[in-house]
Amino acid sequence: MKRQRIPDLISEIKDEFNIIGILVSDIKETSNELPKSQKKKRIYEESLALKLHNFYTGCERIFQKIADDINGGVPHSIDWHKRLLKSMSLEIEKIRPSVISKETAKALEEYLAFRHVVRNIYGFEIDSERLHRLIEKLDGTYKMMKKEIDAFVDFLRELSE
């Protein structure tokens, strides 16, 4: 990685993570306002499912930027999404430390799988219990991710000096 590119990468990661933070706040707020009516509740749940989809997509964007700029590119295979996530939990000797812990990667796997479901079904088919389980775990997952991304950004800053 070119040293002069590091400040750009740091800014891109921080910007993406700020957007993810706004999204997480919005998910928490929306999930606390579920209407009593089943029809309206379903509409809210479809919205929440899309927001969870976007949460993982935002995380994956960060991983793609890191993979492109540091790892030499994203994996090229049918399961590249899973492989990209796994690669972020691995240290690459003489290149970079792990970006996230194996624990965070495992938590994010659930959001990746849910995103796949959201992309392949109709909104009214969303599994409400699964949706709410993921919403309950979201704050903890986000906090772990934030702590680890902040540590990785610190690594990048040291690398650029």
Report the CATH number that the domain containing residue 34 is assigned in CATH. 1.20.120.580
Which residues are 54's β-sheet partners? none
Q: What confidence score (pLDDT) does residue 72 get?
A: 84
Of the chain, the percentage scoring pLDDT greater than 90 comes to: 76
In contact, 111 and 56? CB cutoff 8 Å: yes
What's the structural domain count of the chain? 1
The model's confidence at residue 2, banded by pLDDT at 50, 70 and 90, is low
Q: Which one is predicted more confidently, 77 or 64?
A: 64
Q: Where are the alpha helices (DSSP H) in the chain?
A: 6-31, 38-66, 80-88, 102-120, 128-160
Look up the pTM and report it.
0.92
The model's confidence at residue 1, banded by pLDDT at 50, 70 and 90, is low
In contact, 24 and 142? CB cutoff 8 Å: yes
Mean pLDDT of 112-137: 90
In the predicted structure, residue 160 carries a pLDDT above the cut 80: yes
Which residues are 61's β-sheet partners? none
Structural domain including 34 reads 3-160
First-last CA distance in the chain = 13
In contact, 108 and 75? CB cutoff 8 Å: no
Task: Assign 96 to helix, strand or coil.
Answer: strand
- The closest alpha carbon to 104, from 130, 85, 91, 117, belongs to 85
